[in-house]
Amino acid sequence: MSRVARSWEGRAPGDWWKKGRIMWLIAEAVTNTLPDLAGLGSAGVMGAMWLWERRNSRSREQQLDEAHQRIMGDRVQLEQVFTVVRQNTEALTRLCTLIENR
């Protein structure tokens, strides 16, 4: 069995098509975009890169904000769990003391 065939073992029959289709779409996008970028000049390309970076950083910032909110929500829940564990420990301590004093 060839090396290529082994690398695709265990995958669904349509997986090779999906990978090939994605590569085709990327090649098509680059082919269609390259002449447009050349027409912009270096300043235009740098501007497009800056806009792309800003969009991606805004997306990343939103992800970080959502993660922070989730962590803060988990913190409140953990405080509640700690309170319950503390109360249970105190109750068990009192119960053990009562049993020992009988």
Concatenated DSSP letters for 53-93?
HHHHHHHHHHHHHHHHHHHHHHHHHHHHHHHHHHHHHHHHH
pTM summary value: 0.39
The answer on pLDDT for 91 being more than 90 is yes
Q: What is the percent of the chain with per-residue pLDDT over 90, rounded to a whole number?
A: 27
Residue pLDDT, tens place only, 38-71: 677 777 778 878 888 888 888 889 999 999 999 8
Q: How far apart are CA 65 and CA 61, in angstroms?
A: 6
